[in-house]
Amino acid sequence: MQRMIAALMVSVWIEARRSGLPQLLVVLWLLALGAAELAAALVPTASHETRLLAFAACARPLTAFVLAVFVVGSLRREADDRVQPWLLACDRPRHHYLAGRALGAAGLVLGSAVALALLLLPFAPVGQVLLWSSGLACELLLVVLLAQAVALAISSPAAALAAVTLTYLLARMLDALRLLTRTPLLEGTGDWLGLVTAGLDLLAWVLPALARFAPGAWLLAPASPADALGYLLPQTAVSGLLLWALMQVDFARRSW
């Protein structure tokens, strides 16, 4: 591995530790666990199932949002401090910079998924926890790659974070929105429905359906690992390569 890539990977982890990212994630997970316990107390007849579903529903978006904030903030700070142009002026290919930053963020994703798996082991079988955490790792990997691509393209941190958040929410709700537009209750409401349906179908070719990546139901009932990973891994690979290509094209056209 090139020294620049390795150095950038380590710098991402050092910055995450110094910024208190691990502590923040742990606090948020404990709050999500507390909310799950409260939800379980309100549904005594299915407290265990409610606890797992509530925790998964809270932990997934919170972890994705915090990692996206870190990636966007880190890249924009590096650019504002003129560190990014200095690194790109070195006698190294530009994709080494992208790879180092992406691999560093992927390490944070892996650490988050492992930590959540350890937190869930007392509440669910090992196989189900491993499957759910694998799906979560794929989801978080796409989120950090998206955050890196957007932060490199948009100079405003607020605008970049808003773009990442909106894209993530749309990817999470894409299946539900497509199903909603096909409900018989909306028939005869006008031509706009056909346009919306066609637009959502077009987005489905570009955006991954993140709702299928780590559903809370995987913590309740055994899912087929072959079927689940057979969808997750190709979808993650295709979407990840697409984001990588977008970053490469954007970086190749720039001059500092």
pLDDT of 58-109, one tens digit each?
999 999 999 999 999 988 887 776 666 666 666 667 778 888 889 999 999 9
Task: Tell if the pTM clears 0.95, that is, is over it.
Answer: no
Measured in whole angstroms, how far is the alpha carbon of residue 67 from the centre of its chain?
8
Between 179 and 132, where is the model more confident? Answer: 132
pLDDT at 62: 93
**Residue position matching structure tokens 């948009």:** 154
User: Using an 8 Å Cβ cutoff, are 229 and 132 in contact?
Assistant: no
Instruction: Quickly state the pLDDT bin for 45 (edges 50, 70, 90).
Output: confident
Q: Is the pLDDT of residue 251 over 80?
A: no
The candidate with the shortest Cα–Cα distance to 72, out of 8, 5, 162, 207, is 162
pLDDT at 176: 79
State both tokens at 212. 């299928």
3-state secondary structure the chain: CCHHHHHHHHHHHHHHHHCCHHHHHHHHHHHHHHHHHHHHHHCHHHHHHHHHHHHHHHHHHHHHHHHHHHHHHHHHHHHHCCHHHHHHCCCCCHHHHHHHHHHHHHHHHHHHHHHHHHHHCCCCCHHHHHHHHHHHHHHHHHHHHHHHHHHHHCCCHHHHHHHHHHHHHHHHHHHHHHHHHCCHHHCCCCCHHHHHHHHHHHHHCCCCCHHHCCCHHHHCCCCCHHHHHHHHHHHHHHHHHHHHHHHHHHHHCCCC
Read off the pLDDT of residues 112-130 as tens digits, 9 standing for 90 and up.
999 999 998 888 888 888 9
pLDDT at 47: 79
State both tokens at 228. 């689940």
Of the listed ranges 5-9, 36-40, 180-184, 240-244, the one predicted with least confidence = 180-184
pLDDT at 178: 75
User: Using an 8 Å Cβ cutoff, are 48 and 70 in contact?
Assistant: no
pLDDT at 187: 61
pLDDT at 168: 93
pLDDT at 84: 66
The rounded mean pLDDT for the chain is 84
pLDDT at 52: 87
Give the distance between the most distant pair of CA atoms in the chain.
64
**Residue position matching structure tokens 């996206």:** 68
Of the listed ranges 138-142, 182-186, 234-238, the one predicted with least confidence = 182-186
**What is the average per-residue pLDDT within 222-241?**
82
How many Å apart are CA 71 and CA 180, to the nearest integer?
A: 33
**What is the average per-residue pLDDT within 9-13?**
89
How many Å apart are CA 136 and CA 173, to the nearest integer?
A: 16
